[in-house]
């Protein structure tokens, strides 16, 4: 029943999408702009998309195992919350969510900008709906979530246990709003090229959409990082996993785009570069989708392992790149930019150069292992040492530029306040020396990154103080984001340098002493939960130096559907550090391997990242020069 309903909504959605393209094309050709009819069709399209997705959610809620997608990703004993989130915790369902978000963005863009240039608006709608149509056909033909299975099994296989987590349940929708939402300014950029709608009004028209997608992309990355920290048992906030990188690359492009739009709106310059960033952001989003769904990557984050799906996305990606850049090169004219050294334009451009460097570095580190395996049959891994070596030194000038750029002037170079620069630099060095005395020695590179982070932090705080004192306008969005980024870099370096890790093999009743710490394995107990059994270790942790005593209770969870073991970390958090403990059984013996980690200022890494995103909330409403 639900299979038929879902497929009917699919067909209706395809027909409405084709109708939107048809009426938009004829409106542009005949110069008779009947937006009311197209808006009504867009409402229908969004409704059908939402109803299609709602039908799949209903199938998960009632455990309709006649659908292959429900059978492979759910179980009757699973809690309701995870039944619902299971609807997008798989390839087919997530693709349906992708289509729904694209349709909603298309509708919202149409009604919010209906008073703008009609020609440009309709061409944007055509481009967006061609993308929607491509993904509709992909979903219906190759990845249909309503495909049936016969005979109908009595129960499902269950959702991967590590995906049964509240943070991961909300992580994909947040990330998809960023990923998929970038399609709207991809379409708007193509429309701008085709129609010649390329003045500051174009920047004003797309900037809210860039802000929205940047904010949700940032939030999605943060939530995913927090989930990986406590769920996977690795004990870190970022691992340069290829699929993590796939979400980070569009974020770099979005960040560069946000800053470039300032110049386009203020000076009507950098139009071609803005267009490239609009195109590149969504192309990188689809590239990430290809990596996740093609099966060429082996990661806990991947959705699918089907070469046919990967081939479809690769062909779509190839067509997008060829068509969009063919339009770009045939429609753009050579632009000459003359900006005075150390003007605000140059500082904003420097942001773009840094973002481009980070993007290229992450892209190479992500795809290089794939090429070596395909061409040379040689498996290699590109991990943190590569990224730390290449990216870390470039962070230093980037932080200084972030501090100085907002205080520069448009068009002409204005000598910056040398006294303020020297005082802030001196304060940064003094605080850094205090940190060395408190924490211990650091490498030269780490000290330089901390000094530059402190420089940005102090500069941002002084901007707040002086702007309030002198009653000057302050771009709160920029100041909050920059302050958050400075804090993030500082706490990452401290955490990286002073994290402590210790492994030991213990039986119940034994104690392990190391450094100033003492861990006692007091007892082991079995607890039956709603859809799994938990083997819980009770550990008493003591810090002999500070006198701190904590009870830590890591778990080994045993799921039946599917039969899976997961290892849950026990984390005790305060404002200064996290105490982090995991355990695993050694070959069915009485011994358990425990891994203890002391992670300084871990919570401040999350807080700093959230502060950056709060700047994004401001950017939803304001966009001051």
Mean pLDDT along residues 510-515: 90
**Predicted local distance difference test score (pLDDT) of residue 305:** 58
Same domain, 265 and 362: yes
> What is the number of structural domains in the chain?
4
Average pLDDT over residues 403-412: 81
pLDDT band at 614 (very low <50, low <70, confident <90, very high): confident
- Taking CA 172 as the corner, what is the angle to CA 168 and CA 175, rounded to the nearest 5 degrees? 125
394: Cβ contacts below 8 Å, ≥ 6 apart: 354, 357, 358
Of 234-248, 281-295, 597-611, the range with the highest mean pLDDT is 597-611
pLDDT in the model for residue 623: 41
Output the domain CATH number for residue 84.
1.20.120
Q: Is the pLDDT of residue 622 over 50?
A: no
pLDDT at res. 303? 54
Q: Are residues 271 and 210 in the same domain?
A: yes
- The residues, any chain, with a CB within 8 Å of residue 423's CB and separated by 6 or more, are none
Domain contains 147: yes
Q: What's the pLDDT band for 625 if we cut at 50, 70, 90? A: very low
Question: In the numeric block, which tokens belong to residue 251?
Answer: 């974020």
Mean pLDDT of 440-450: 91
Residue 624's pLDDT band (cuts 50, 70, 90)? very low
Angle between helix axes 307-331 and 271-293 (nearest 10 degrees) is 170
**Is the Cβ–Cβ distance between 94 and 138 less than 8 Å?**
no
What pLDDT, in 10s, does the model give residues 296-317?
665 555 555 567 788 888 899 9
538 and 477 in one domain? no
Helix (H/G/I), strand (E/B), else coil: 159:
coil
Q: 250 with 294, same domain?
A: yes
How far apart CA 72 and CA 93 sit, in angstroms, is 12
At 413 the pLDDT is: 65
Query: For residue 520, what pLDDT is reported?
Result: 95
Q: pLDDT tens digits, residue range 584-593?
A: 999 888 999 9
Does the pLDDT value for residue 415 go beyond 70?
Answer: no
Q: Reduce the DSSP state of residue 236 to 3 states and report it.
A: coil
pLDDT of residue 399: 96
How far, CA to CA in Å, does 248 sit from each of 178, 219, 285, 361, 443? 11, 12, 10, 11, 27
Could you tell me the pLDDT band of residue 188, with boundaries at 50, 70 and 90?
very high
Judgement on whether residues 110 and 179 belong to the same structural domain of the protein: no
Task: Identify the domain boundary among 120, 153, 186.
Answer: 153
- For residues 345 and 269, what is the distance between their CA atoms, to the nearest angstrom? 10
- Comparing 185-194, 219-228, 333-342, the range with the smallest average pLDDT is 333-342
Token reading at 445? 């590179």
In the numeric block, the tokens 């079995």 are attached to 526
pLDDT reading at 430 higher than 60: yes
The answer as to whether 92 is a domain residue is: yes
- The per-residue pLDDT for 233 is 65
Cα–Cα distance measured from residue 435 to residue 269, given in angstroms and rounded to the nearest whole number: 44
Q: Are 494 and 508 part of one and the same domain?
A: no
Q: What is the pLDDT of residues 523-554, one digit of tens each?
A: 999 998 877 899 999 999 998 888 889 999 99
Is 399 within a domain?
no
In a domain, 401, yes or no: no
Q: What residue has token string 């990355």?
A: 221
Concatenated DSSP letters for 245-314?
HHHHHHHHHHHHHHHHHHHHHHHS--HHHHHHHHHHHHHHHHHHHHHHHSS-S--TT-----HHHHHHHH
The DSSP output letter for 153 is P
User: Where do runs of H (alpha helix) occur along 377-443?
Assistant: 384-404, 418-439
What is the pLDDT, as a whole number, of residue 311? 85
> How high is the pLDDT of residue 508?
93
Spatial separation of the C-alpha atoms in residues 179 and 291, rounded to whole Å:
14
Burial class (CB in 10 A: 0-12, 13-18, 19+), 470: exposed
> Are 218 and 137 found together in one domain?
no
Coil, helix or strand at residue 335: coil
pLDDT tens digits along 268-279: 888 999 999 999
pLDDT in tens, 34-46: 788 999 999 999 9
Selection from 27, 209, 211, 24 nearest residue 133 by Cα:
24
User: Of 533, 522, 525, 513, whose CA–CA distance to 596 is shortest?
Assistant: 513
Share of the chain above pLDDT 90, in %: 58
Closest CA to 570 of 592, 535, 537: 537
* Structural domain of 473: 416-498+604-619
Report the sign of the C-alpha dihedral through residues 188, 189, 195, 197, in that order.
Answer: positive
User: Three-state DSSP class for 381?
Assistant: coil
In a domain, 82, yes or no: yes
Q: Report the side by side order of strands in the sheet with 500-506.
A: 500-506, 592-600, 577-585, 570-573
Burial class (CB in 10 A: 0-12, 13-18, 19+), 331: middle
- Say if residue 564's pLDDT is above 90: no
Residue 411 lies in a domain: no
518 and 492 part of one domain: no
Higher-pLDDT residue of 287 and 116 is 287
Section 505-526 average pLDDT: 92
Over residues 128-149, the pLDDT tens digits come to 999 999 999 999 998 899 999 9
Q: How does pLDDT run across 49-84, given as a tens digit for each residue?
A: 999 999 999 999 999 999 999 998 888 888 888 899
Provide the percentage of residues in the chain whose pLDDT is more than 70.
94
484: left (phi over 0), alpha (psi -120 to 50) or beta: alpha
In a shared domain, residues 449 and 422: yes
Residue 485 vs residue 169, higher pLDDT: 485
Last residue of a domain, one of 325, 360, 382: 382
| pLDDT value of position 298 | 55
SS3 61: helix
Residue 99 has pLDDT above 70, yes or no: yes
Q: Is residue 188 part of a domain?
A: yes
Residue 482 and residue 508 in one domain: no
Residue 127 lies in a domain: yes
Q: Same domain, yes or no, for 199 and 119?
A: no
C-alpha 333/C-alpha 198 separation (Å) is: 12
Count of positions (residues) in the chain = 625
The answer to whether residues 328 and 208 belong to one domain is yes
Domain boundary among 94, 120, 153: 153
């Amino acid at each position: 029943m639900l299979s038929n309903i879902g497929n009917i909504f699919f067909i209706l959605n395809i027909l409405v999408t084709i109708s939107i393209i048809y009426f938009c094309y004829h409106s542009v050709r005949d110069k008779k702009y009947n937006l009311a009819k197209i808006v009504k069709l867009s409402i229908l399209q969004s409704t059908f998309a939402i109803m299609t997705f709602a039908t799949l959610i209903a199938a998960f809620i009632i455990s309709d195992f006649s659908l292959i997608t429900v059978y492979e990703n759910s179980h009757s004993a699973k809690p309701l919350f995870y039944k619902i989130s299971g609807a997008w915790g798989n390839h087919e369902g997530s693709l349906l969510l992708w289509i729904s978000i694209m349709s909603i963005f298309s509708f919202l863009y149409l009604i919010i900008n209906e008073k703008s240039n009609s020609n440009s608006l309709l061409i944007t709608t055509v481009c967006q709906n061609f993308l929607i149509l491509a993904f509709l056909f992909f979903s219906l033909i190759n990845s249909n979530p309503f495909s049936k299975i016969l005979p109908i099994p009595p129960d499902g296989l269950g959702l991967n246990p590590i995906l049964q987590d509240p943070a991961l349940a909300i992580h994909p929708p947040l990330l998809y709003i960023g990923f998929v939402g970038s399609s709207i300014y991809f379409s708007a950029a193509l429309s701008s090229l085709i129609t010649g709608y390329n003045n500051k009004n174009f920047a004003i028209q797309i900037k809210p959409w860039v802000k929205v997608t940047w904010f949700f992309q940032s939030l999605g990355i943060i939530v995913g990082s927090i989930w990986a920290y406590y769920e996977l048992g690795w004990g870190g906030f970022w691992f340069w996993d290829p699929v993590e990188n796939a979400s980070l690359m569009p974020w770099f492009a979005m960040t560069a785009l946000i800053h470039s739009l300032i110049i386009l709106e203020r000076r009507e310059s950098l139009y071609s570069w803005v267009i490239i960033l609009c195109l590149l952001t969504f192309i990188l989003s689809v590239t990430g989708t290809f990596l996740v769904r093609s099966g060429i990557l082996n990661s806990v984050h991947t959705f699918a392992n089907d070469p046919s799906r990967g081939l479809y996305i690769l062909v779509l990606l190839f067509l997008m790149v060829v068509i969009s850049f063919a339009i770009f090169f045939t429609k753009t004219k050579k632009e000459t930019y003359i900006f005075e050294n150390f003007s605000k334009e140059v500082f904003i451009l420097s942001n773009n150069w840094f973002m481009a460097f980070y993007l290229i570095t992450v892209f190479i580190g992500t795809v290089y292992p794939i090429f070596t395996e395909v061409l040379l049959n040689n498996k290699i891994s590109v991990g943190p040492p590569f990224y730390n070596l290449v990216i870390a030194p470039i962070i230093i000038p980037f932080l200084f530029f972030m501090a100085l750029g907002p205080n520069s002037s448009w068009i002409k170079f204005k000598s910056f306040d040398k006294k303020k620069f020297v005082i802030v630099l001196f304060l940064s060095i003094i605080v850094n020396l205090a940190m060395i005395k408190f924490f211990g020695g650091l490498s030269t590179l780490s000290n330089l990154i901390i000094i530059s982070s402190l420089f940005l932090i102090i500069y941002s705080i002084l901007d707040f103080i002086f702007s309030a004192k002198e009653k000057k306008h302050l771009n709160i969005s920029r100041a909050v984001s920059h302050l958050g980024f400075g804090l993030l870099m500082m706490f990452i370096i401290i955490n990286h340098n002073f994290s402590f890790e210790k492994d030991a093999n213990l039986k119940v009743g034994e104690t392990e002493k190391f450094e100033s710490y003492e861990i006692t394995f007091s007892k082991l107990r079995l607890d039956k939960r709603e859809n799994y059994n938990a083997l819980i270790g009770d550990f008493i942790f003591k810090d002999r130096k500070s006198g701190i005593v904590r009870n830590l209770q890591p778990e080994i969870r045993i799921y039946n559907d599917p039969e899976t073991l997961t290892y849950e970390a026990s984390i005790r958090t305060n404002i200064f550090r996290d105490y982090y403990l995991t355990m695993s059984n050694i070959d069915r013996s009485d011994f358990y391997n425990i891994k203890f980690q002391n992670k300084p200022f871990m919570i401040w890494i999350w807080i700093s990242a959230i502060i950056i995103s709060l700047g994004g909330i401001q950017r939803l409403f304001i966009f001051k020069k």
